[in-house]
Chain A
């Protein structure tokens, strides 16, 4: 199987490392010979139809910051051209999330389908904004579209709901879908520190981004809720339909108050037939949704299996890449 990787940042490098690590495993277990035929970043691409030397690609990126500096096979060819012209079974899209336009990822995904490639993405932007449009391209070109890593990172949820729980009607999903806010609230609760102090510390530790707006405002969770609503519950909603409240007003006193009543406060995203909401909620201290640190958790209410709960890591290079690898394997097995 041949893949093109677009985006060579935290996740892109994570994917390459996971592929390196699992090369033998994939061969032995699935008979799969996985070749990365192109890697793209903002500088251009490295292209090799026989499969790139992944170690070398990482080294070049590390040393120069530019994959186009890959010896002999580096090029400044625009990413769209790479997607269109290079032969491959699938593209793995891992460029930054853009919650306003979904670009440039949206274009890469569409061009991927148009040129007959399956698409795997970790990117919430295009999914939250244009899910149905993207899906229609996949259908039209009879290609597979997978995006497990986009919600909950390594925590299985999309494929869990669509495949493992097949036959169940999913009535409601609620949970903590943003690790940064969970980290902040957990720390505020434990150490009785105010929001700004904990945020600053989280930024210094690299847990929160330099621009944490999307996380703390609830927008990131809202995008994920929209993805779940559209992909699992067959709704047709956008971020504008979500009632959003973030965590910036939460105080350590409020957390103590909640504790006194047997609760904690978590930023919860919730989707059901008549509810699309993100906001801080009181969660009983002994509730399975009360997970600590930067963990993610989701509870699915289904008609047959009733409640199903998953907990996992919502971020991290190798962790998130595990979800991408599962999508790669799934596509491979379906086309074997």
Chain B
């Protein structure tokens, strides 16, 4: 999700004028929060929540809004989240699974852990889901690479 804080001119129809080009671009508008009570310098602050966008599209949208004399005070893309599913193969438990999870939690949040141990002496496998901020994705991948080498684990990722 992407949150944009906008300021619109205080004249009727401004909101529609601002939203039309956005929806024309096929962008999913999740919510529009009208903060009329916080009026600043005769402008009305509006908080807009849209679905995830590629940077290129996001910039295009911002350009369109600016052309319409909409002020953009804040674009918060940092809360763009991604789900990553993983299947791990190796000695998942014996290589200190707590430590593995803690280290992944530095960059994201491991939810949903599922373990399968067919035989205590054999390799096991686990499935996990990690929620991660888009901007921390590379750090998470780097940590996975490190863990993979250190603990001889194979992480099979979803795209």
Interface residues in chain A, defined as those with a beta carbon under 8 Å from any beta carbon in chain B? 245, 249-251, 253-254, 256-258, 260-261, 263, 265, 279-284
Report if B85 contacts A (CB, 8 A).
Answer: yes
List, in ascending order, chain B residues with CB within 8 A of A250's CB: 89
Interface residues on chain B, number (Cβ under 8 Å): 19
Name B154's contact: one of A253, A280, A284 (CB within 8 Å): A280
Name B156's contact: one of A253, A254, A260, A284 (CB within 8 Å): A254
Name B89's contact: one of A251, A260, A263, A284 (CB within 8 Å): A251
Q: Looking at the assembled complex, report how far the CB atom of A320 sits from the nearest CB atom of chain B, in whole angstroms.
A: 29
Question: CB distance A261 to B154 under 8 Å?
Answer: no
Report if B114 contacts A (CB, 8 A).
Answer: yes
104-159 of chain B: CB within 8 A of chain A? 114, 116, 118, 123-127, 129, 154, 156-159
Secondary structure at chain B's binding surface: helix, strand, loop or mixed? strand
24 A-B pairs within 8 Å (CB atoms) are namely A249-B90, A249-B154, A251-B89, A254-B87, A254-B125, A254-B156, A256-B116, A257-B87, A257-B116, A257-B125, A257-B127, A260-B127, A261-B87, A261-B129, A263-B158, A265-B87, A265-B156, A279-B156, A280-B156, A281-B156, A281-B158, A282-B156, A282-B158, A283-B159
Question: CB distance B158 to A257 under 8 Å?
Answer: no
Bound-state Cα–Cα, A258 to B154, Å: 13
Give the A-B contact count at a CB cut-off of 8 A: 57
Question: CB distance A258 to B156 under 8 Å?
Answer: yes
Question: CB distance B86 to A282 under 8 Å?
Answer: yes
Q: Count chain A CB atoms within 10 A of each CB in B125, B127, B156 and give the residue with the most.
A: B156
Pick the 10 closest A-B CB pairs, nearest first. A282-B158, A254-B125, A257-B127, A253-B116, A253-B125, A280-B156, A254-B89, A249-B154, A258-B87, A257-B87
List, in ascending order, chain A residues with CB within 8 A of B85's CB: 261, 263, 282
Q: Looking at the assembled complex, report how far the CB atom of B94 sits from the nearest CB atom of chain A, in whole angstroms.
A: 16
CB-CB under 8 A for A253 and B118, given A245-B154, A263-B158? yes
List, in ascending order, chain A residues with CB within 8 A of B87's CB: 254, 257-258, 261, 263, 265, 282
